[in-house]
Amino acid sequence: MMFFFQKFCIQYKNIFQIKAKNQLRVNGLSFSTYFFSYFIVLVGLMIFICLCILGIIFLFDVPSLREIPAIITLGILIMLYCPSSIVFSTCLSYIFDKVDSAQSMLPNIATFFGLLPFILVMILDMQGLGK
């Protein structure tokens, strides 16, 4: 799911690189109209991805997620994850000057940042500090 948002953040970086945003403004598109349309597209994609994930969970009939409170909690967590993922990917995309470098490096950096909590928990579990 994170890679899906990275693709759109890299595409947004491409719009800045080719200066298409300025062309849209010259053609009469206001600042708020430009960003509101971009926001609508990202929210639509976010809702679609969340519904697909919840649909897959229902199709596979996960035993621990058969209860209504568990599925509601998971749905809320997924809905909270998506905006933070968009902001995180957008902030990381500003590290790069060119779209090519962002496309080649951003997925690796995001995966590394995602692995950090897992590595910390794994080390603590191996040391027996979590008991």
For residue 29, give the DSSP letter. -
pLDDT band at 2 (very low <50, low <70, confident <90, very high): low
- Residue pLDDT, tens place only, 100-131: 777 788 888 888 887 888 898 888 888 877 55
Give the chain's mean pLDDT. 77
pTM of the model: 0.59
For the chain, domain boundaries: 2-127
CB of 82 closer than 8 Å to CB of 8: no
Quote the CA–CA distance of 35 and 37 in Å, as a whole number.
Answer: 5
Which pLDDT tens digit goes with each residue over 50-64? Answer: 888 888 888 998 888
Question: Are 73 and 56 within 8 A, CB to CB?
Answer: no
